[in-house]
């Protein structure tokens, strides 16, 4: 059995956000292997570092012809989520002005070209079915209350409106005050400039990110196995 987990880091750097995505993916992989030690778990991370992704310009071309006509790196990034569709996804963003950064917003906007009903039949990919993909958000900001949860909500809303199975960082094991408590995402503070990457100083944040990753791994596995049972006679 093969489980594929994809991480996306929308930061223009390979620094704190990238590290959080890496940590969450590692925890997700461990969670799968804990329950199914013979599973083959593949993890891949897409970094927006050096990538150019423009926002949608509402030209309408994708309604009439092959997908998005804008020429940049969007397809290079989105292809990890569509060809094939992964079992689990972690999307991470640095907080920019209390929300996700512009690159991630642009990435989301361009996905409009993927799901129009009058789809151009020669487009190389099928409309992605993300309804069996477990998805979680991680965010990092410089300040403790800098907008991490607001940025995460933006990512989670994209998961919900494009059909993903949105997973948060709540887990029974850390529902009590003794250990870091998870809520809707994995959020952390990167204010320690003496540490590289700065996010590693936030032990509490890292714990919550690991919990999110664990839940992504567990949910991805269940969705994969459930789908295999439901489709075995088809
Ligand atoms: C344009 C810009 C806007 C930012 N806005 C916020 C903000 O609103 N809240 C906050 O806590 N940090 C803010 N930051 C700080 C980054 O979120 C923080 O440095 C983050 O850890 C960067 O992640 P990275 O190392 O993965 O790029 C901002 C940084 C930039 C460059």
Dist CA 159 CA 155 (whole Å)? 6
Spatial contact of 181 and 174, defined as CB atoms under 8 Å apart: yes
pLDDT above 80 for 174? no
- Our mutation pick for probing the ligand 1 site, out of 96, 105, 148, 187, counting the most ligand atoms within 8 A of Cβ, is 96
Average pLDDT over residues 202-228: 96
Query: For residue 187, what are the β-bridge partners?
Result: 139
Pocket residues for ligand 1 (CB within 6 Å)?
11, 13, 15-17, 94-98, 140-143, 146-147, 190
The greatest distance separating any two alpha carbons of the chain, rounded to the nearest whole angstrom, comes to 57
pLDDT in tens, 22-70: 999 999 999 999 999 999 999 999 999 999 999 999 988 887 766 788 9
Average pLDDT over residues 142-156: 97
Reading the block at residue 148, the tokens are 């991490």
User: Which H or E run includes 232?
Assistant: none
pLDDT above 60 for 125? no
CA 170 to ligand 1 center in whole angstroms: 25
Least Cα distance to 6 among 94, 129, 95, 92 occurs for 92
Average pLDDT over residues 200-216: 95
Reading the block at residue 192, the tokens are 């320690």
| Nearest atom (ligand 1) to Cα of 148 | 11
pLDDT above 70 for 2? yes
Dist CA 89 CA 73 (whole Å)? 19
Query: For residue 46, what are the β-bridge partners?
Result: 8
Spatial contact of 156 and 167, defined as CB atoms under 8 Å apart: no
Average pLDDT over residues 64-78: 87
Confidence at residue 173, expressed as pLDDT on a 0 to 100 scale: 72
CA 146 to ligand 1 center in whole angstroms: 8
> How far from chain centre, in Å, is Cα 24?
10
Dist CA 217 CA 89 (whole Å)? 9
User: Which H or E run includes 35?
Assistant: helix 16-35
pTM confidence score: 0.95
CATH code: domain 2-230 is 3.40.50.360
Reading the block at residue 9, the tokens are 């880091």
Confidence at residue 171, expressed as pLDDT on a 0 to 100 scale: 83
CA 225 to ligand 1 center in whole angstroms: 38
Domain ranges across the chain = 2-230
Confidence at residue 67, expressed as pLDDT on a 0 to 100 scale: 75
Residue by residue, DSSP assigns 95-124 as -BTTB--HHHHHHHHHGGGG--SS--TTSS
């Amino acid at each position: 059995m093969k489980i594929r987990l994809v991480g996306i880091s929308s930061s223009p750097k390979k620094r704190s956000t990238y590290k959080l995505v890496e940590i969450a993916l590692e925890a997700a992989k461990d969670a799968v292997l804990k329950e199914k030690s013979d599973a083959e778990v593949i993890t891949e991370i897409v970094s927006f570092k050096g990538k150019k992704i423009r926002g949608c310009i509402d030209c309408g071309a994708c309604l009439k012809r092959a997908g998005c006509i804008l020429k940049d790196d969007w397809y290079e990034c989105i292809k990890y989520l569509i060809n094939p569709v992964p079992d689990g996804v972690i999307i991470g963003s640095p907080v920019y002005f209390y929300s996700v950064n512009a690159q991630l917003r642009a990435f989301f906007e361009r996905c409009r070209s993927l799901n129009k009903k009058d789809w151009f039949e020669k487009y190389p990919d099928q409309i992605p079915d993300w309804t069996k993909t477990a998805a979680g958000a991680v965010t990092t900001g410089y300040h403790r209350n800098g907008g991490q949860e607001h940025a995460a909500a933006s990512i989670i809303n994209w998961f919900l409106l494009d059909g993903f199975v949105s997973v948060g960082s709540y887990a029974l094991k850390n529902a009590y005050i003794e250990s870091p408590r998870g809520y809707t995402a994995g959020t952390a503070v990167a204010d320690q400039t003496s540490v590289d990457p700065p996010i590693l100083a936030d032990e509490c944040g890292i714990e919550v990110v690991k919990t999110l990753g664990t839940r992504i791994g567990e949910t991805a596995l269940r969705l994969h196995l459930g789908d295999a049972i439901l489709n075995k006679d088809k």
